[in-house]
Amino acid sequence: MFAMDRAAPFWLRALAATLAGGLTPLAFAPFDIWPLALIAPALLWLCLRDQPARSAAWLGWLFGLGFYGAGVSWVYVSIHTFGNASVLLAGLLTAAFVAALALLGAAQGWMYGRLFGRGTGQWLGFVGLWLIWEWIRSWLLTGFPWLYLGYPLIDTPLALWAPLGGVWGLSLIAVLLGTGCLQLVLARTTGSRLLTAGLLSLPLAGIALLPYSWTQPSGAPLKVALVQGNIPQELKWESGRLFDILSRYQQLSWQAGQVDLLIWPETAIPSTLYRAEPQLRPFIEDLTRRGTGFIAGLPSVVPDENDPNRGVYHNSLAVLAPQTALYHKQRLVPFGEYVPLESWLRGLIDFFNLPMSAFSLPQGEQQPLPFGSHRIAAAICYEIAYPELVRHSSLASDLLLTVSNDTWFGRSIAPDQHLQIARMRALETGRWLIRSTNNGISALVDSQGKVNAQAPRYQSAVLVGEVQGMRGLTPYQRSGVWPTLLLALLCCALARVSRRRAARPLTQT
């Protein structure tokens, strides 16, 4: 492998880059081969070394094809199974989605070749750019913050860094360790090896120095019940099913016994509260008499600020007992919850007409949900993947709550990836996390990101357990992504200095 240097043919580099991309998702749940999170990016860097910008762009794109092609293959399930697209059409749409995402890898490769293609410190430029492009991916075109390289490290000793730098910091460490170890082998001078070894020792030494916990318990534990209805996606939005669906959730809820807080998942109520209220009223009144709180996902409608005669729909979480409050989803899934270029695409195929694909973004900042003395930071489905969004909402909260309907993903790897992401949010913020889903994976996660209790997936179930409110803030909650971004920029600056020194003799001749 190390023979792949300047003389290696492009086809060999292309093959290795594609293979590296395809292997990287095996580092994530449910496979959890976490060393690949270090090895795969190092292999990509080996392919990119000393390549001109154009070649590096192609190699980055091929890595992206393998990375997203294997890592988000579950998109096909949503399009084909629930979007009613044919096998051919679903395959083409999935391929187009993967190819478009891979353009981010192409841009990253081009920038590496353009800025850092020479010098002994070029590996640091690769490390810095990786983190910068993960950050860009969190907001560009509403963002796709999935498969960040730090997630596979959540079950390793390096996870102690997450409360300081979040998943961003773990991503930086993963690329630093993997690429740095390769640089140790390739370095030609003792000075370069010593400098590299020193940099590699920093995250490893931190494991022995960092505290285990940054937050402390606050108040008595809450006994909670998560109701997993396992409603088939193809039946959920059918007219006439509302009564049966609500009846199933109510019957399952009574199995939980006496609890402090009852939670139903995303759009468990497949209707506005106005339509569901007659059937729910006796249930809510009984919960209130028992002193049980009740939070459920549902679509909500509010008057349009610009046109009071028009209603605007939101994907929402509602506190329905003992008090009332609403949280509206702030990050919507393209095509699943809104249709980009709606006037052109709506009606072309069934996939562009999915039920409840006309949600809107809320006006103004969303507040934590109140429950007694607790404040609960909410995230609906896809939102839990946005580190900065959850970090911000957690600042005034002592618990995290995420609800989801992962039925869209079938029996693919997506629910496992989704739970791993949610676990990272708990670890970053030092908060217990409640995860309620329609068919799995419903779970209670402690403030260290460990699963405390989990319901069986793909079946109706009720998960009962205790969660603990937490007080205090982690360093990541206070500072966010910016310290890690500054470290990434410092890596890039050092790589540029190295490149200029490498080019200096050429200039003199």
| pLDDT tens profile 134-162 | 999 999 988 999 999 999 999 999 999 99
Indicate whether 344 pLDDT > 60. no
Q: How confident is the model at residue 78 (pLDDT cuts 50, 70, 90)?
A: confident
Indicate whether 119 pLDDT > 80. no
Q: How confident is the model at residue 191 (pLDDT cuts 50, 70, 90)?
A: confident
Q: How confident is the model at residue 14 (pLDDT cuts 50, 70, 90)?
A: very high
Bridge partners of residue 216, in order along the sequence: 471
| pLDDT at residue 339, rounded to an integer | 62
User: Is residue 362 a contact partner of residue 314, using CB atoms and an 8 Å limit?
Assistant: yes
Q: Single out the residue of 207, 204, 190, 209 nearest to residue 38, CA to CA.
A: 204
User: Is residue 499 a contact partner of residue 117, using CB atoms and an 8 Å limit?
Assistant: yes
Select which of 134, 266, 388, 428 is catalytic. Answer: 266
Q: Single out the residue of 272, 402, 408, 387 nearest to residue 337, CA to CA.
A: 408
Look up 365 and say whether it is catalytic: no
Indicate whether 275 pLDDT > 70. yes
| pLDDT at residue 289, rounded to an integer | 94
Select which of 329, 383, 388, 428 is catalytic. Answer: 329
Q: How confident is the model at residue 508 (pLDDT cuts 50, 70, 90)?
A: very low
| pLDDT at residue 336, rounded to an integer | 67
Characterise 467 by phi-psi region: left (phi > 0), alpha (psi -120 to 50), beta (else). beta
CA 448 to chain CA centroid, Å, is: 17
Amino acid in position 439: N
| pLDDT at residue 353, rounded to an integer | 57
Taking residue 390's Cβ as centre, other Cβ atoms within 10 Å add up to 28
More confident residue, 4 or 181: 181
Q: Which two tokens stand for residue 355?
A: 């039920």
Alpha helices in 230-310 (DSSP H): 233-236, 242-254, 273-290
Angle, alpha carbons 295-300-306 (nearest 5°): 140
Read off the pLDDT of each residue in 368-380 and give the average, rounded to a whole number: 96
- For residues 401 and 432, give the distance between their C-alpha atoms in angstroms, rounded to a whole number: 9
Indicate whether 212 pLDDT > 60. yes
What's the number of CA atoms in the CB half-sphere (13 Å) around residue 12? 10
Q: Residue 227 — φ and ψ, nearest 5°? A: -100, 120
pLDDT tens digit string along 156-180?
A: 999 999 999 999 999 999 999 999 9
Residue percentage of the chain with pLDDT more than 90: 78
Q: How confident is the model at residue 509 (pLDDT cuts 50, 70, 90)?
A: very low
Q: How confident is the model at residue 338 (pLDDT cuts 50, 70, 90)?
A: low
Look up 329 and say whether it is catalytic: yes
CA 85 to chain CA centroid, Å, is: 26
Q: Which two tokens stand for residue 454?
A: 């989990």
On the question of a cis peptide bond just before residue 441, with omega within 30 degrees of 0, the verdict is: yes
User: Is residue 491 a contact partner of residue 127, using CB atoms and an 8 Å limit?
Assistant: yes
More confident residue, 97 or 188: 97
User: Is residue 417 a contact partner of residue 28, using CB atoms and an 8 Å limit?
Assistant: yes
Decide the pairing of beta strands 461-467 and 222-228: antiparallel
Look up 277 and say whether it is catalytic: no
User: Is residue 301 a contact partner of residue 272, using CB atoms and an 8 Å limit?
Assistant: yes
- For residues 129 and 139, give the distance between their C-alpha atoms in angstroms, rounded to a whole number: 16
What's the DSSP call for residue 50?
T
By CB atoms closer than 10 A (0-12, 13-18, 19+), residue 424 is: buried
| pLDDT at residue 361, rounded to an integer | 86
What's the number of CA atoms in the CB half-sphere (13 Å) around residue 432? 24
pLDDT tens digit string along 20-48?
A: 999 999 999 999 999 999 999 999 999 99
Bridge partners of residue 338, in order along the sequence: 334
Q: How confident is the model at residue 3 (pLDDT cuts 50, 70, 90)?
A: very low
pLDDT tens digit string along 412-422?
A: 999 999 999 99
Alpha helices in 72-147 (DSSP H): 75-77, 87-116, 122-137
Indicate whether 503 pLDDT > 80. no
Indicate whether 506 pLDDT > 70. no
- For residues 167 and 287, give the distance between their C-alpha atoms in angstroms, rounded to a whole number: 38
Q: Single out the residue of 381, 457, 461 nearest to residue 421, CA to CA.
A: 381
Domains and CATH numbers, the chain: 10-213+478-508 (no CATH), 216-473 (3.60.110.10)
Region of poorest pLDDT, from 220-224, 389-393, 502-506? 502-506
Select which of 236, 337, 381, 428 is catalytic. Answer: 381
pTM for the structure as a whole: 0.93
Sequence-distant (≥ 6) Cβ neighbours of residue 305 within 8 angstroms: 363
Q: Which residues of 78-109 are buried (b: 16+ CB within 10 A; e: fewer)?
A: bbbbbbebeeebbeebbeebbeebbebbbbbb
Rg for the chain (alpha carbons), in Å? 24
User: Is residue 47 a contact partner of residue 1, using CB atoms and an 8 Å limit?
Assistant: no
Bridge partners of residue 485, in order along the sequence: none
